[in-house]
Amino acid sequence: MPSLARSTHRYDAALVLRDGSIFPGTLIGKRAEAVGELVFNTSMTGYQEALTDPSYAGQLLTFSYPIIGNYGIGKEAFESPAIHARACIVREACPAPTHRLSESPLDEFLSHYGVPGISGVDTRAIVKKVRSQGVMPAALAPMGEKILSNDEERNAFVASMVAKSNSFDYSKVDFVTTVATKDKLVFGKGGKKIVLIDCGAKAGIVRELLQRGMEVTVVPPATTSREILELNPHGVVISNGPGDPALMTYAIKTVGELLGQVPLFGICLGHQILGHAVGGKTFKLKFGHRGANHSVQDKIDGRVFITAQNHGFAVSGLPHAHEGSAVREWFANSNDGTNEGLLVEGLRAMSVQYHPEASPGPYDNRYLFDEFVKMI
């Protein structure tokens, strides 16, 4: 348990990890409990985009940067209509943001969407623990301050939270069905038609396609290949999203049937789905890649790019060929060597593990949308 000796902080909430570690702090957002997979993001900015990224569904999101919310919440920074992270964990939540586009502070933003959070915790210690032990289930809950000074009450509280954490298994839930669209949606008019298979798509993907003159039809993740081809698309994008890609057998089947019939572009979870469709596998990373400055290397020409990333699984075991076309590793992570992209040029398919649309993050990789447009 972190030392409380030098602190005059008022504690009314706590984050409890599966191993029994307790991090007391101050409740922000909604006064409620949250149980999920504990992860961390190392970005200095982009907290609103991260919280509204559907890929964080089912997760308790820890921000490693020491102050979050200093430029507030603005209507232009949403990546989806709501917050999808189950909880927000910060060292300090700025109560009075300063920015001309700010409409509310972080606390009000969380409350509005019914999401609990905690501030005043040692996020550095949390990140170090997740890095050493791996992502793990955890629970956040309101807590009476007197619990900390009563060993019996504290032990009972921790045991209760650990039990709730142990009842949660992130890898067994298909979160995609909880965040993806249920209906077909059309954005833009005219131009080449793109079908976006929504597995939890960020708004930035749609924006990038619209900026290139595309007409974008967003469809639910369980849409069949026949239904997609009936829309006569010039290309298909498979979006990012939450959860274990191995659970998405319906999308893997669809993408496998689309291979060779229409150009494909997979992003993040979409990359993992394409990897499965060509005969590869995926595995869970120890603590994932979540941040705005992850470097990857182009395995074809050697160039290095700084990328925005948010994923807990990686592609492995790619075959040398699929249906007579070579399967090539396109990008690799500069830190751990894991796969970050693939090309099946003979079947007009490409994918990357990172986020070329950024939001948040560097714009260095938006050229990939141009490469996709050339393909179609």
Contact 247, 362 (CB under 8 A): no
**Rounded to an integer, what distance in angstroms lies between the CA atom of residue 39 and that of residue 62?**
6
Identify the pLDDT of residue 349: 98
Structure tokens at 64: 């490693």
Given 49, 88, 268, 322, the catalytic residue: 268
Strands 59-63, 34-41: pairing kind: parallel
pLDDT digits (tens, 9 = 90+) for 172-219: 999 999 999 999 999 999 889 999 999 999 999 999 999 999 999 999
Percent of the chain with pLDDT over 70: 98
**Dist CA 207 CA 262 (whole Å):** 21
pLDDT at 2: 44
Calpha distance 339→352 (Å, rounded):
9
Statement: residue 9 has pLDDT above 70? no
Q: What is the mean pLDDT of residues 140-151?
A: 88
Q: Which domains does the chain have, with CATH numbers?
A: 13-168 (3.50.30.20), 176-375 (3.40.50.880)
Residue 7 above 90 pLDDT?
no
Contact 331, 176 (CB under 8 A): no
220-243 confidence digits (pLDDT tens): 999 999 999 999 999 999 999 999
Give the tens place of pLDDT for each residue, 250-284.
Answer: 999 999 999 999 999 999 999 999 999 999 999 99
State the pLDDT at residue 4. Answer: 41
Indicate if 234 belongs to the active site: no
Neighbours of 21 (CB within 10 A): 18
**Residue 149: per-residue pLDDT:** 84
- Angle subtended by helix axes 249-258 and 269-277, to nearest 10: 70
pLDDT for the residue 81: 97
- Catalytic (active site) residue 199: no
264, 274 contact by CB (below 8 A): yes
Looking at residues 49-74, what average pLDDT do you find? 98
Task: Give the model confidence (pLDDT) of 293-320 as tens digits.
Answer: 999 999 999 999 999 999 999 999 999 9
Q: Average model confidence (pLDDT) for the chain?
A: 96
Examine the residue annotation and report whether 355 is marked as an active-site residue of this protein. Answer: yes
Q: What is the mean pLDDT of residues 22-50?
A: 98
Q: Is pTM, for the whole model, over 0.85?
A: yes
Distance of alpha carbon 194 from the chain centroid: 23
* Whether the predicted pLDDT of 3 surpasses 70: no
- Whether the pLDDT of residue 128 is over 70: the answer is yes
- Mean pLDDT to the nearest integer, 84-88: 99
What number is the average pLDDT over the span 72-101?
A: 97
